[in-house]
Amino acid sequence: MPRLDADIVIGGEGLLAAVSAAALAEEGFAVSWIGGEDPPRWGGPGPIAIAPAGRALLERYRLWPGSPPEGQAVQRMRVWDAGGRISFSAAELAVPELARIVDGVRLFECALAAARARVVAEANRIVAVEPGPDAVRLVLADGRSRLARLLLACDGADSPLRRLIGIPTLERAYGASALSFRVRSRLPHDATAFQRFLPGGPIALLPLADGASQVVWTRPEPVARALNALKPEALARAATEASEECLGALEIEGACRFLPLRMRLAEGFAAERVALLGDAAHQVHPLAGQGANLGLLDLAWLIAVLARARRRGLDLGSRAVLARYAQNRRSAAGLAALAFDGLERLFSSAEGPLVQLRRMGLSLVDRIPPLKRWLAHEAMGWSAWPAELPVSGGGP
Protein backbone atom coordinates (compact mmCIF):
# COMPACT_ATOMS: atom_id res chain seq x y z
CA MET A 1 0.00 0.00 0.00
CA PRO A 2 1.34 3.52 -0.78
CA ARG A 3 2.47 5.60 2.20
CA LEU A 4 -0.32 7.31 4.16
CA ASP A 5 -0.21 11.10 4.56
CA ALA A 6 -2.12 10.87 7.87
CA ASP A 7 -4.26 8.56 10.01
CA ILE A 8 -7.09 11.08 9.86
CA VAL A 9 -7.78 13.95 7.45
CA ILE A 10 -10.17 16.61 8.73
CA GLY A 11 -12.20 18.47 6.11
CA GLY A 12 -13.93 21.76 7.06
CA GLU A 13 -12.99 24.99 8.71
CA GLY A 14 -15.43 25.78 11.54
CA LEU A 15 -15.34 25.32 15.30
CA LEU A 16 -15.68 21.54 15.24
CA ALA A 17 -12.97 21.14 12.59
CA ALA A 18 -10.50 23.16 14.68
CA VAL A 19 -11.40 21.42 17.96
CA SER A 20 -11.27 17.96 16.33
CA ALA A 21 -7.87 18.63 14.74
CA ALA A 22 -6.35 19.85 18.02
CA ALA A 23 -7.90 17.10 20.19
CA LEU A 24 -7.15 14.15 17.89
CA ALA A 25 -3.54 15.33 17.49
CA GLU A 26 -3.24 15.60 21.28
CA GLU A 27 -4.45 11.97 21.48
CA GLY A 28 -1.44 11.01 19.33
CA PHE A 29 -3.14 10.43 15.97
CA ALA A 30 -1.37 11.67 12.84
CA VAL A 31 -3.81 14.37 11.69
CA SER A 32 -3.88 16.53 8.60
CA TRP A 33 -6.40 19.39 8.29
CA ILE A 34 -7.76 20.55 4.96
CA GLY A 35 -9.72 23.78 5.47
CA GLY A 36 -11.29 25.87 2.73
CA GLU A 37 -9.95 29.28 3.61
CA ASP A 38 -6.84 30.87 5.00
CA PRO A 39 -7.35 31.86 7.74
CA PRO A 40 -10.40 29.72 8.54
CA ARG A 41 -13.31 31.75 9.88
CA TRP A 42 -15.96 31.26 12.55
CA GLY A 43 -19.41 31.16 10.97
CA GLY A 44 -21.44 30.61 14.15
CA PRO A 45 -23.23 33.04 16.46
CA GLY A 46 -21.29 35.42 18.78
CA PRO A 47 -21.73 34.23 22.38
CA ILE A 48 -22.47 30.55 22.73
CA ALA A 49 -23.69 28.41 25.65
CA ILE A 50 -21.29 25.58 26.39
CA ALA A 51 -22.64 22.79 28.60
CA PRO A 52 -20.44 21.27 31.35
CA ALA A 53 -19.72 18.11 29.27
CA GLY A 54 -18.62 20.20 26.27
CA ARG A 55 -16.44 22.32 28.51
CA ALA A 56 -14.87 19.19 30.05
CA LEU A 57 -13.87 18.03 26.57
CA LEU A 58 -12.39 21.43 25.68
CA GLU A 59 -10.46 21.58 28.96
CA ARG A 60 -9.17 18.01 28.55
CA TYR A 61 -7.42 19.14 25.34
CA ARG A 62 -6.40 22.62 26.62
CA LEU A 63 -8.86 24.34 24.30
CA TRP A 64 -10.77 26.39 26.86
CA PRO A 65 -9.80 30.03 26.25
CA GLY A 66 -8.06 32.14 28.89
CA SER A 67 -7.29 31.29 32.45
CA PRO A 68 -10.42 30.46 34.45
CA PRO A 69 -13.01 31.78 34.88
CA GLU A 70 -13.72 32.44 31.18
CA GLY A 71 -17.15 33.73 30.19
CA GLN A 72 -20.27 33.92 32.34
CA ALA A 73 -21.56 31.04 34.44
CA VAL A 74 -25.30 30.38 34.14
CA GLN A 75 -26.54 29.75 37.68
CA ARG A 76 -30.26 29.87 37.04
CA MET A 77 -32.58 29.31 34.12
CA ARG A 78 -36.19 30.54 33.81
CA VAL A 79 -38.40 29.22 31.02
CA TRP A 80 -42.02 30.25 30.60
CA ASP A 81 -44.91 30.71 28.21
CA ALA A 82 -48.44 32.03 28.44
CA GLY A 83 -49.62 29.16 30.60
CA GLY A 84 -46.74 27.78 32.68
CA ARG A 85 -43.19 28.15 33.89
CA ILE A 86 -40.22 26.09 34.98
CA SER A 87 -36.96 27.11 36.60
CA PHE A 88 -33.65 25.41 37.22
CA SER A 89 -30.82 26.39 39.52
CA ALA A 90 -27.29 25.08 39.87
CA ALA A 91 -27.61 25.20 43.68
CA GLU A 92 -30.76 23.07 43.65
CA LEU A 93 -29.03 20.53 41.42
CA ALA A 94 -25.80 20.68 43.48
CA VAL A 95 -23.62 21.50 40.44
CA PRO A 96 -21.19 24.46 40.10
CA GLU A 97 -23.11 25.89 37.12
CA LEU A 98 -25.71 24.93 34.51
CA ALA A 99 -23.70 26.14 31.51
CA ARG A 100 -21.22 28.85 30.58
CA ILE A 101 -21.74 31.57 28.01
CA VAL A 102 -18.49 32.15 26.14
CA ASP A 103 -17.47 34.27 23.20
CA GLY A 104 -17.69 31.95 20.18
CA VAL A 105 -14.95 33.86 18.39
CA ARG A 106 -12.54 33.48 21.31
CA LEU A 107 -13.38 29.80 21.58
CA PHE A 108 -12.76 29.32 17.86
CA GLU A 109 -9.51 31.30 17.91
CA CYS A 110 -8.22 29.31 20.86
CA ALA A 111 -8.99 26.00 19.09
CA LEU A 112 -7.53 27.35 15.84
CA ALA A 113 -4.23 28.36 17.49
CA ALA A 114 -3.92 24.94 19.16
CA ALA A 115 -4.80 23.10 15.94
CA ARG A 116 -2.22 25.07 13.97
CA ALA A 117 0.44 24.31 16.55
CA ARG A 118 -0.39 20.60 16.61
CA VAL A 119 -1.28 19.60 13.02
CA VAL A 120 -0.34 20.25 9.40
CA ALA A 121 -3.07 22.51 8.01
CA GLU A 122 -3.58 23.52 4.40
CA ALA A 123 -6.06 25.83 2.67
CA ASN A 124 -7.53 23.61 -0.02
CA ARG A 125 -10.77 21.86 -0.96
CA ILE A 126 -11.54 18.18 -1.24
CA VAL A 127 -13.24 17.60 -4.59
CA ALA A 128 -13.38 13.78 -4.69
CA VAL A 129 -13.44 11.05 -2.03
CA GLU A 130 -12.27 7.59 -3.16
CA PRO A 131 -12.54 4.96 -0.41
CA GLY A 132 -10.48 1.78 -0.83
CA PRO A 133 -9.90 -1.40 1.19
CA ASP A 134 -6.96 0.07 3.19
CA ALA A 135 -7.29 3.84 2.88
CA VAL A 136 -9.30 6.71 1.45
CA ARG A 137 -7.84 8.88 -1.32
CA LEU A 138 -8.86 12.53 -1.21
CA VAL A 139 -8.47 14.47 -4.43
CA LEU A 140 -7.86 18.18 -3.84
CA ALA A 141 -8.97 21.17 -5.92
CA ASP A 142 -5.41 21.70 -7.18
CA GLY A 143 -5.21 18.12 -8.51
CA ARG A 144 -2.96 16.73 -5.76
CA SER A 145 -4.25 13.99 -3.46
CA ARG A 146 -3.96 12.80 0.14
CA LEU A 147 -4.18 9.28 1.52
CA ALA A 148 -5.51 8.50 5.01
CA ARG A 149 -7.31 5.79 6.97
CA LEU A 150 -10.24 8.05 7.75
CA LEU A 151 -11.84 11.30 6.55
CA LEU A 152 -13.67 13.36 9.16
CA ALA A 153 -16.22 15.69 7.56
CA CYS A 154 -16.66 18.78 9.79
CA ASP A 155 -17.74 21.19 7.08
CA GLY A 156 -20.96 22.48 8.58
CA ALA A 157 -24.66 22.14 7.89
CA ASP A 158 -24.36 22.51 4.10
CA SER A 159 -21.49 19.97 4.12
CA PRO A 160 -20.18 19.64 0.56
CA LEU A 161 -18.35 16.50 1.76
CA ARG A 162 -21.61 14.88 2.92
CA ARG A 163 -23.09 15.58 -0.52
CA LEU A 164 -19.95 14.31 -2.26
CA ILE A 165 -20.21 10.93 -0.53
CA GLY A 166 -23.99 10.85 -1.02
CA ILE A 167 -25.39 10.68 2.52
CA PRO A 168 -29.01 11.93 2.37
CA THR A 169 -30.53 14.14 5.08
CA LEU A 170 -33.88 14.55 6.78
CA GLU A 171 -34.72 18.23 6.59
CA ARG A 172 -37.23 20.70 7.89
CA ALA A 173 -37.15 24.38 7.02
CA TYR A 174 -38.62 26.23 10.01
CA GLY A 175 -39.64 29.19 7.88
CA ALA A 176 -38.13 31.18 10.72
CA SER A 177 -34.92 33.07 11.43
CA ALA A 178 -33.06 33.96 14.60
CA LEU A 179 -32.08 37.53 15.38
CA SER A 180 -29.06 37.70 17.66
CA PHE A 181 -27.93 40.91 19.39
CA ARG A 182 -26.39 42.25 22.63
CA VAL A 183 -28.45 44.27 25.06
CA ARG A 184 -27.92 46.29 28.24
CA SER A 185 -30.80 45.88 30.64
CA ARG A 186 -32.20 48.06 33.39
CA LEU A 187 -32.19 45.10 35.83
CA PRO A 188 -29.07 42.95 36.48
CA HIS A 189 -29.17 39.48 34.93
CA ASP A 190 -27.97 37.85 38.14
CA ALA A 191 -26.36 34.95 36.18
CA THR A 192 -29.79 33.90 34.91
CA ALA A 193 -30.72 32.71 31.41
CA PHE A 194 -34.29 33.54 30.42
CA GLN A 195 -36.38 31.96 27.70
CA ARG A 196 -39.95 32.86 26.87
CA PHE A 197 -41.83 30.71 24.35
CA LEU A 198 -44.13 32.67 22.07
CA PRO A 199 -46.26 31.51 19.14
CA GLY A 200 -43.79 31.72 16.24
CA GLY A 201 -40.66 31.04 18.29
CA PRO A 202 -38.84 31.70 21.57
CA ILE A 203 -36.89 34.73 22.79
CA ALA A 204 -33.85 33.95 24.96
CA LEU A 205 -31.66 36.29 27.01
CA LEU A 206 -28.27 34.81 27.88
CA PRO A 207 -26.17 36.46 30.62
CA LEU A 208 -22.77 37.84 29.58
CA ALA A 209 -19.72 38.42 31.77
CA ASP A 210 -19.76 42.22 31.42
CA GLY A 211 -23.34 42.52 32.70
CA ALA A 212 -24.94 42.70 29.23
CA SER A 213 -27.13 39.90 27.81
CA GLN A 214 -27.29 38.25 24.41
CA VAL A 215 -30.74 38.05 22.86
CA VAL A 216 -31.52 35.16 20.51
CA TRP A 217 -35.00 35.73 19.15
CA THR A 218 -36.70 33.35 16.72
CA ARG A 219 -39.50 34.75 14.58
CA PRO A 220 -41.30 33.57 11.43
CA GLU A 221 -39.38 34.65 8.32
CA PRO A 222 -41.33 37.81 7.30
CA VAL A 223 -41.59 39.04 10.91
CA ALA A 224 -37.87 38.44 11.48
CA ARG A 225 -37.04 40.42 8.34
CA ALA A 226 -39.27 43.28 9.46
CA LEU A 227 -37.69 43.30 12.94
CA ASN A 228 -34.23 43.23 11.41
CA ALA A 229 -35.09 46.35 9.40
CA LEU A 230 -36.11 48.32 12.53
CA LYS A 231 -34.01 51.08 14.09
CA PRO A 232 -32.18 49.82 17.25
CA GLU A 233 -34.52 51.73 19.61
CA ALA A 234 -37.61 50.17 18.03
CA LEU A 235 -36.07 46.68 18.02
CA ALA A 236 -35.11 47.16 21.69
CA ARG A 237 -38.69 48.11 22.57
CA ALA A 238 -40.04 45.06 20.73
CA ALA A 239 -37.55 42.77 22.53
CA THR A 240 -38.39 44.34 25.91
CA GLU A 241 -42.06 43.62 25.32
CA ALA A 242 -41.46 40.10 23.97
CA SER A 243 -39.33 39.24 27.02
CA GLU A 244 -42.12 40.53 29.31
CA GLU A 245 -39.60 42.94 30.83
CA CYS A 246 -37.90 40.08 32.67
CA LEU A 247 -34.79 42.30 32.77
CA GLY A 248 -36.62 45.61 32.50
CA ALA A 249 -36.08 47.93 29.53
CA LEU A 250 -33.46 46.76 27.02
CA GLU A 251 -31.00 48.86 25.03
CA ILE A 252 -29.20 47.41 22.01
CA GLU A 253 -25.41 47.45 21.76
CA GLY A 254 -23.81 46.76 18.38
CA ALA A 255 -25.14 45.03 15.29
CA CYS A 256 -27.96 42.53 14.94
CA ARG A 257 -27.18 39.20 13.24
CA PHE A 258 -29.80 37.44 11.12
CA LEU A 259 -29.57 33.63 11.01
CA PRO A 260 -32.07 31.54 8.97
CA LEU A 261 -32.97 28.28 10.75
CA ARG A 262 -33.52 24.74 9.57
CA MET A 263 -33.32 21.24 11.00
CA ARG A 264 -31.09 18.80 9.14
CA LEU A 265 -30.17 15.31 10.19
CA ALA A 266 -27.89 13.03 8.16
CA GLU A 267 -29.44 9.59 7.61
CA GLY A 268 -26.13 8.02 8.59
CA PHE A 269 -23.19 9.52 10.48
CA ALA A 270 -20.60 7.37 8.65
CA ALA A 271 -19.92 5.87 5.23
CA GLU A 272 -16.97 3.92 3.89
CA ARG A 273 -13.88 5.45 5.59
CA VAL A 274 -15.77 8.68 6.34
CA ALA A 275 -17.37 9.97 9.55
CA LEU A 276 -19.57 13.08 9.84
CA LEU A 277 -19.23 15.33 12.89
CA GLY A 278 -20.92 18.52 14.15
CA ASP A 279 -23.43 20.39 11.99
CA ALA A 280 -22.41 18.25 9.00
CA ALA A 281 -24.21 15.42 10.83
CA HIS A 282 -26.97 17.38 12.62
CA GLN A 283 -28.19 20.95 12.47
CA VAL A 284 -30.62 21.63 15.30
CA HIS A 285 -32.93 24.45 16.36
CA PRO A 286 -31.01 26.87 18.65
CA LEU A 287 -33.79 26.92 21.28
CA ALA A 288 -31.81 24.63 23.59
CA GLY A 289 -28.34 26.09 22.78
CA GLN A 290 -27.07 22.60 22.01
CA GLY A 291 -25.75 22.59 18.41
CA ALA A 292 -22.04 22.92 19.16
CA ASN A 293 -22.44 20.87 22.35
CA LEU A 294 -23.78 17.94 20.33
CA GLY A 295 -20.75 18.26 18.04
CA LEU A 296 -18.42 18.16 21.06
CA LEU A 297 -20.16 14.98 22.24
CA ASP A 298 -19.69 13.49 18.74
CA LEU A 299 -16.00 14.19 19.13
CA ALA A 300 -15.82 12.68 22.64
CA TRP A 301 -17.34 9.48 21.23
CA LEU A 302 -15.13 9.44 18.18
CA ILE A 303 -12.02 9.79 20.32
CA ALA A 304 -13.18 6.98 22.63
CA VAL A 305 -13.94 4.70 19.63
CA LEU A 306 -10.69 5.46 17.79
CA ALA A 307 -8.53 5.11 20.91
CA ARG A 308 -10.07 1.70 21.57
CA ALA A 309 -9.51 0.63 17.93
CA ARG A 310 -5.87 1.70 18.16
CA ARG A 311 -5.33 -0.28 21.39
CA ARG A 312 -6.71 -3.36 19.62
CA GLY A 313 -4.64 -2.79 16.48
CA LEU A 314 -7.73 -2.24 14.30
CA ASP A 315 -7.96 -0.17 11.12
CA LEU A 316 -9.30 3.29 12.20
CA GLY A 317 -11.45 3.66 9.09
CA SER A 318 -12.93 0.16 9.06
CA ARG A 319 -16.69 -0.36 8.95
CA ALA A 320 -16.80 -2.03 12.37
CA VAL A 321 -14.98 0.84 14.08
CA LEU A 322 -17.04 3.58 12.43
CA ALA A 323 -20.30 1.72 13.02
CA ARG A 324 -19.81 2.02 16.78
CA TYR A 325 -19.43 5.79 16.50
CA ALA A 326 -22.23 6.23 13.97
CA GLN A 327 -24.81 4.08 15.74
CA ASN A 328 -24.27 5.71 19.08
CA ARG A 329 -24.21 9.30 17.90
CA ARG A 330 -26.94 8.94 15.26
CA SER A 331 -29.36 7.74 17.89
CA ALA A 332 -28.33 10.26 20.60
CA ALA A 333 -27.95 13.36 18.39
CA GLY A 334 -30.88 12.28 16.21
CA LEU A 335 -33.09 12.03 19.27
CA ALA A 336 -31.93 15.46 20.44
CA ALA A 337 -32.57 17.03 17.00
CA LEU A 338 -36.06 15.54 16.87
CA ALA A 339 -36.76 16.52 20.48
CA PHE A 340 -35.82 20.18 19.81
CA ASP A 341 -37.91 20.01 16.65
CA GLY A 342 -40.86 18.68 18.68
CA LEU A 343 -40.41 21.41 21.29
CA GLU A 344 -40.39 24.01 18.55
CA ARG A 345 -43.72 22.65 17.21
CA LEU A 346 -45.19 22.31 20.68
CA PHE A 347 -44.40 25.88 21.68
CA SER A 348 -44.96 27.55 18.31
CA SER A 349 -48.60 26.58 17.95
CA ALA A 350 -51.02 29.22 19.13
CA GLU A 351 -54.09 26.99 19.30
CA GLY A 352 -55.29 23.39 19.39
CA PRO A 353 -54.65 20.48 21.76
CA LEU A 354 -50.90 21.15 21.93
CA VAL A 355 -51.55 24.37 23.81
CA GLN A 356 -53.33 22.50 26.60
CA LEU A 357 -50.56 19.90 26.77
CA ARG A 358 -47.97 22.67 26.97
CA ARG A 359 -49.82 24.45 29.75
CA MET A 360 -49.88 21.32 31.85
CA GLY A 361 -46.33 20.41 30.86
CA LEU A 362 -44.08 23.21 32.08
CA SER A 363 -45.60 23.76 35.48
CA LEU A 364 -46.11 20.04 36.06
CA VAL A 365 -42.47 19.21 35.30
CA ASP A 366 -41.47 22.07 37.59
CA ARG A 367 -43.17 20.22 40.47
CA ILE A 368 -41.46 16.84 39.82
CA PRO A 369 -37.86 17.14 41.11
CA PRO A 370 -36.56 13.78 39.70
CA LEU A 371 -37.85 14.68 36.23
CA LYS A 372 -36.32 18.14 36.47
CA ARG A 373 -32.98 16.63 37.54
CA TRP A 374 -33.11 14.22 34.61
CA LEU A 375 -33.81 17.08 32.15
CA ALA A 376 -30.96 19.15 33.58
CA HIS A 377 -28.55 16.18 33.41
CA GLU A 378 -29.48 15.74 29.73
CA ALA A 379 -28.94 19.46 29.01
CA MET A 380 -25.53 19.38 30.75
CA GLY A 381 -24.46 16.66 28.31
CA TRP A 382 -23.43 14.03 30.83
CA SER A 383 -25.97 11.37 29.88
CA ALA A 384 -24.37 11.07 26.41
CA TRP A 385 -20.77 11.17 27.65
CA PRO A 386 -18.66 8.06 26.77
CA ALA A 387 -17.62 6.24 29.95
CA GLU A 388 -14.22 5.37 28.43
CA LEU A 389 -13.15 9.02 28.32
CA PRO A 390 -12.20 10.18 31.82
CA VAL A 391 -12.56 13.86 32.73
CA SER A 392 -11.10 15.71 35.66
CA GLY A 393 -13.49 17.17 38.27
CA GLY A 394 -17.31 16.90 38.05
CA GLY A 395 -18.10 14.55 35.21
CA PRO A 396 -20.97 12.16 34.70
Ligand X SMILES: Cc1cc2nc3c(=O)[nH]c(=O)nc-3n(C[C@H](O)[C@H](O)[C@H](O)COP(=O)(O)OP(=O)(O)OC[C@H]3O[C@@H](n4cnc5c(N)ncnc54)[C@H](O)[C@@H]3O)c2cc1C
What whole-number distance in Å separates Cα of residue 59 and Cα of residue 64? Answer: 5
For position 105 contacting ligand X by CB under 6 A, the verdict is: no
Which residues on neighbouring strands pair with residue 202, listed in sequence order?
197
Q: Using CB under 6 A, which of the segments 8-16, 22-30, 63-71, 340-348 binds ligand X?
A: 8-16
Q: Give the shortest CB-261-to-ligand X separation in angstroms.
A: 6
- Which stretch of DSSP H or E encloses residue 89? strand 85-89
Cβ distance to ligand X smaller for residue 45 or 386: 45
Helix, strand or coil, per DSSP, at residue 78 = strand
Smallest gap, in angstroms, from Cβ of residue 214 to ligand X?
Answer: 9
Candidate segments 70-78, 233-241, 247-255, 283-291, binder of ligand X by CB under 6 A:
283-291
Among 17, 31, 119, 138, binds ligand X (CB under 6 A): 17
Residue 293 or 309: which CB sits closer to ligand X?
Answer: 293
> For the window 207-236, what string marks contact with ligand X as x by the rule CB under 6 A?
---------x--------------------
Per DSSP, the chain holds a count of helices (H) and strands (E) of 11, 19
3-state secondary structure (DSSP) of residue 26: helix
Query: Cα dist. 332→97, 169, 264, 327 in Å?
Result: 23, 16, 15, 9
155 in contact with ligand X (CB under 6 A) = yes
Residue of 291, 287, 289 lying closest to 219 (CA atoms):
287
- Is 259 a binding residue for ligand X by CB under 6 A? The answer is yes
Tell me the window of 13-21, 225-233, 368-376, 386-394 that interacts with ligand X (CB under 6 A).
13-21
Residues shown for the chain: 396
Residue ranges in 22-61 that form contacts with ligand X under rule CB under 6 A: 35-36, 43-45, 48-49
Q: Which position among 290, 341, 347, 384 is part of the footprint of ligand X (CB under 6 A)?
A: 290
Burial track 193-213 (b if 16+ CB lie within 10 A, e otherwise): bbbbbbebbbbbbbbbbeebb
Pattern 121-150, binding to ligand X, x per CB under 6 A?
Answer: ----x-------------------------
Query: H helices of 81-199, where?
Result: 90-93, 104-118, 160-165
Answer yes or no whether residue 15 interacts with ligand X by CB under 6 A.
yes
CB 34 within 8 A of CB 10: yes
The site for ligand X, by CB under 6 A, has a size of: 34
188's CB contacts (< 8 A; 6+ apart) are 211, 247
Cα–Cα distance measured from residue 362 to residue 365, given in angstroms and rounded to the nearest whole number: 5
One-letter identity of residue 80? W
Q: Does 334 bind ligand X (CB under 6 A)?
A: no
What minimum distance in Å lies between the beta carbon of 381 and ligand X?
A: 10
Among the listed residues 91, 86, 137, 150, the one whose alpha carbon sits nearest the alpha carbon of residue 368: 86
Residues 292-331 that bind ligand X (CB under 6 A): 292-293, 295
Compare residues 48 and 380 and give the one whose CB is closer to ligand X: 48
Helix 319-348 to helix 353-366 angle (10° resolution) is: 110
Q: Which stretch binds ligand X (CB under 6 A): 77-85, 220-228, 275-283, 346-354?
A: 275-283
Q: What does the per-residue mask of binding to ligand X show for 174-203, with x meaning CB under 6 A? A: ----x-x-----------------------
For the bound state, the minimum distance from the C-beta of residue 108 to ligand X, rounded and expressed in Å, comes to 8
Q: Of 7, 9, 13, 219, which one interacts with ligand X (CB under 6 A)?
A: 13
Q: Is 72 in the site for ligand X (CB under 6 A)?
A: no
List residues binding ligand X (CB under 6 A). Answer: 11-17, 35-36, 43-45, 48-49, 125, 154-157, 160, 178, 180, 216, 259, 278-280, 286, 289-293, 295
